[in-house]
Structure 1
């Protein structure tokens, strides 16, 4: 069994910017957990999947993605899940919310993957820069620094990314283009 999750990754320039902020949190606030994955917006939270059935998982995600349109994403400022996590705020567009909801339905009905937590709370798209390893004390110091900090990026997410955990960090396993035409 391996651990996977499905996400949208921003273009490389935005990843580089987010990684600089993650590194700042690691260096200044001893919060390096966010560096263990590329900057991303989680659509399907981590789940266990049998390695032998990886082709089935990838085929199902490819089929889903091919029926979806690319999604415009706006990153704006910072927000937090107090008292531990600080993240880049992702605009809750209807297209993004629909993509995530449709993916959850698809993975449950076609693959039997169910995230119980996601069923009990609304989808909160975000891009983590300081992870749960941020101490409460360091959160109280860091949050005022980032609370009003300006940030604005726009990009079009044109693929779903399947990430695989190697025991230490998350790595890109495969990508699936979003290219439905209506």
Structure 2
């Protein structure tokens, strides 16, 4: 079992999210490039643009990505006609100085989808993660953790000039797996 740098707990191996259409991905990759070139931000840039449904967790070795995929297929994708919807991006926002993101409007459909995916993960590997008790805020991270203090407001002003206001289909569930220190899309199922 791989441990994290501090050897206090097992390294996170998986998370589950939703990939977005290529045009949105390209716009947000440009925003990441701006944050890197202007402010030196690099955290999370190896991860594909996505909305996290189930945050990173450690999947015990006796379970596999295929086990997660099978549970999500049978418990979530089988109900796709009730779970697919259009989401809306309303420009950019920040969680304090720690995360800048494209703001996806929250709603009951997001919460239902997140809860069903989480239930499928816990069905495979009980106790590997738990439900966040905060209200679910879907978002598309541009920069996090290594944003220099005090620059979020200026960076948001630049990004909000893009006027990123767009609808997109929530039409997939994707399992990401850590491989060689990077997160990769290991499996994706269509809603």
Q: TM above 0.5, one fold? A: yes
Gaps of 5+ in 2: 2-11
Q: 2:91 matched to 1:102? A: no
Distance 1:123 1:3, change over 3 A: same
Q: Which residue of 2 aligns with 1:80?
A: 94
Aligned to 2:148: 135
Which has the higher mean CA deviation after the structures are superposed, 39-48 or 161-170?
Answer: 161-170
Contact 2:88 2:166 in 1 (8 A): yes
- Between the aligned partners of 2:144 and 2:132, the Cα distance in structure 1 is 22
Distance 2:16 2:27 in 1: 21
**Number of residues of Structure 1 aligned to a counterpart in Structure 2:** 177
Which residue does the alignment assign to 1:152?
165
For 1:40 and 1:51, locate their aligned partners in 2 and report how far apart those are by CA, in whole Å. 25
Cα deviation 1:41-89 (Å, max 9, x = unaligned): 0001101114552132221122122223322111111110011210000
- Structure 1 distance, partners of 2:111, 2:188, is 20
Q: Confirm whether residue 18 of structure 1 aligns to residue 24 of structure 2.
A: no
**Structure in which a larger fraction of residues adopt helix:** 1
User: Structure 1 pair 15/70, CA: closer, same or farther in 2 (3 Å)?
Assistant: same
Give how far 1:121 is off: 1.4
The SS at the match of 1:101 is helix
TM-score between both structures, scaled by the size of structure 1: 0.86
Show the counterpart of 1:175. Answer: 188
Compare 55-64 and 100-109 and name the one that shifted more: 100-109
Match of 1:9 in 2: 19
